[in-house]
Structure 1
Amino acid sequence: MSHVPDDVLFEHNARIRGKVVVITGAANGIGQETAKRFASYGAKVVIGDRDTKGGEKTVGDIERDGGKAVFVKCDVLSWEDQLSMFETAISKYGSVDIVIPNAGVTEISHFHSVTLDASGKPMIPKLSTLDINLTGVLYTIHLSLHYLKVNKKAGDLKSLILIGSMASWMPIPGAALYAASKHAILGIMRSLHPGLELQGVRVGVIHPFFADTAIVPLPVKVALAGIPLTPVPRIAGAIFHAATNPDPETNGCAWLLLDDGPVFRIKPEEFKQGVYGMIDNRANAALQVAKGLRHYYRVGRDLWRIFGKQLVVLGIGAVLAKVAWDRRELLADYIR
């Protein structure tokens, strides 16, 4: 695990000039700061958010500073809204280069509290936190798999940067759905990495500790009084760095912001230590067996295609020859 000092988070800013960034949830907080940072270095930003007033204010701030941005009203749980957001990016700017599915909520579903109906039976729980933080993000990711390829040229910068949390790694008492969604985000990134890397697309996930944003409920802020929170500009810097770093070794990484300290980079191979290592070793062993079975299946399939019925004759002949040989050996042993 290596750390990334603040003064290098934006060192690859020249790569972003003229690129198109699609970001959800940028009407305030981390998303707003990130959108402004990208725009300040010459990126064209497409903002999708339910908060029209906040989204338009972010666009206005960017334009006043000489940047380019457009707002699209977008509920991340609406496929049509998200599709419109990506189509706007293509129609207005011609491409999609960086996608940041940032929109998310804290635990709003009260999953740990069981509500009973009039007859005393448990009612179906509301899974709003999981819907927004996972299903909405999956919609954005799925669309990005298409739109990052539109008008793509060899060597173009293409990135998909996800937003996790410390809850991707540790339990949050009373926030089971939030922790579930953020654990899932880390797993999604790890699963996407091998395929996207082959396509020339960077992928990573940012894991901030609690930050002073509207997503953190007031009671939690009170409970955290005296504990350093993660600065929002540093989180935006981590997103920027993860998206723009040209070093292939920094692809597929997790980027941790543990409190008010520096950004830490976790390389893919460092996910395979301790319990993770044990699981990885056993999974790899099972995979080798599966690969072996697939290999022999392919051999048999190709031989059948080449020889057809002759293969059956050869197989039967081989079996009969083996039986004859075994009997010969048995008879020889008896004579001796």
Structure 2
Amino acid sequence: MPQTFYNNTGRATNPSTINTSTLKGKTAVITGACSGLGYCYSKAFIAAGCFVVLADLKPPPEDLDESQALFVQCNVTVWEEQLAVFEAATARSPTHKIDIVIANAGIAGPDVLAGLNDEIPQPPQTTMIDVNVTGVLYTTKLAGWYFTRHHRDPLHGCLILISSIMGYIDTQSSAIYGASKFAVRGMMCCIRRKGILRVNCIAPWLIPTPIMNKDFLDNVRAQFQDMGLDLTSTQDAVTAVLRIASDYTLNGHTFAIVPRELAASGYMDLGLDDLKPESPAGKLQAAASSIYYSKFGHALS
């Protein structure tokens, strides 16, 4: 595979309207697809003419046309269940190919430092790592395996990973959640150079969805507005995902879903996954990314 598959072309544009005509007839697999943002993505891809396979623990909240969508029950932390999703998607796809995969399933939870007043120290909960990292690794491996069999051109296999603004900035929220989203960002930065598929990330700022606590949202919205910011919208997240899926030239970018005060479209390329070539880190990155590791197998003996 070409070592120059990823090139730093600068920040991508963020138009507010997207031409989704290239998505018609494609097949998309979406994990965590039946609630919150995942369900918004699912309905948007169906509306764009895709056949959508919704993978989730619970079915969608409404019946979907069987000619347009398929629900497959799946716990993303179980390899065999994810494999069954991709097998079903291949079998039921009108083209028997998978074109788009969105590794959307993710959860939040307590901080690694929760419970410091316990009489006996308890281990931190690692379910977030299981879902947000291991589950995404499973989805990524399966996307790569099926894409290489379904497409001759690696640009035609589109993987979208869901990080978070917490993969880029400091917060006082759960360090386990933040670590999981930094991990997803790290996956994208490595995979984008491999020439196997095109991969991009979504990094949402706080987006109100029906599964979130209303009192919490009202409180933080008031605080944000005092700072000249606000919450973001599900529609802007949908637009960013459609932008990535419909544009074959996009590889290796992260679109943050941001308040409209920062970008009129509600999303923007953060431009934080590339380094200045003349900086020490930039020089190290240039050297490391020029090594074709697969030629030697695993680097560690």
Normalised by the length of structure 1, the TM-score is 0.73
C-alpha deviation, 1:277, in angstroms: 4.2
- Checking the alignment, whether the CA contact within 8 Å between 1:18 and 1:43 is kept in structure 2 is yes
- The 3 A distance-change label for structure 1 pair 77 and 245 is same
| Alignment match, 1:24 | 31
SS of 1:46's equivalent in the other structure is strand
- The 3 A distance-change label for structure 1 pair 188 and 285 is closer
- Checking the alignment, whether the CA contact within 8 Å between 2:51 and 2:69 is kept in structure 1 is yes
Measure, in 1, the Cα distance between the counterparts of 2:274 and 2:245. 20
Measure, in 1, the Cα distance between the counterparts of 2:106 and 2:154. 32
C-alpha deviation, 1:143, in angstroms: 1.0
- The 3 A distance-change label for structure 1 pair 141 and 2 is closer
| Alignment match, 1:242 | 244
| Alignment match, 2:186 | 187
- Counterpart AA for 2:130: D
Measure, in 2, the Cα distance between the counterparts of 1:280 and 1:79. 36
| Alignment match, 1:331 | none
Pair 1:85-2:95 in alignment: no
- Counterpart AA for 1:103: A
C-alpha deviation, 1:280, in angstroms: 2.7
**Greater relative CO (CA pairs within 8 A, separation 6+):** 2
Listed as ranges, the matches of 1:165-244 within 5 Å are 165-195=164-194, 198-199=195-196, 201-214=197-210, 216-218=212-214, 220-226=216-222, 227=224, 228-244=230-246
Pick from 4, 13, 16 the counterpart of residue 14 of structure 2. Answer: 4
C-alpha deviation, 1:5, in angstroms: 2.5
| Alignment match, 2:8 | none
Measure, in 2, the Cα distance between the counterparts of 1:45 and 1:252. 24
| Alignment match, 2:73 | 73
C-alpha deviation, 1:204, in angstroms: 0.3
C-alpha deviation, 1:254, in angstroms: 1.0
- Checking the alignment, whether the CA contact within 8 Å between 1:130 and 1:177 is kept in structure 2 is yes
Deviations 1:135-184 (A, max 9, x none): 11111111111111233245872200111111010122131011101111
- Counterpart AA for 1:5: P
Whose helix fraction is larger, Structure 1's or Structure 2's?
1
Matched residue count: 271
Measure, in 1, the Cα distance between the counterparts of 2:67 and 2:220. 36
Pair 1:37-2:44 in alignment: yes
C-alpha deviation, 1:14, in angstroms: 1.8
Pick from 57, 62, 65 the counterpart of residue 50 of structure 1. Answer: 57
- Checking the alignment, whether the CA contact within 8 Å between 2:167 and 2:178 is kept in structure 1 is yes
Give the share of equivalent positions with the same residue, in percent: 28
C-alpha deviation, 1:109, in angstroms: 3.3
| Alignment match, 1:131 | 130
C-alpha deviation, 1:235, in angstroms: 0.3
| Alignment match, 2:101 | 99
C-alpha deviation, 1:215, in angstroms: 5.3
- Counterpart AA for 1:33: C
- The 3 A distance-change label for structure 1 pair 244 and 222 is same
- Counterpart AA for 2:192: H
- Checking the alignment, whether the CA contact within 8 Å between 2:148 and 2:154 is kept in structure 1 is no
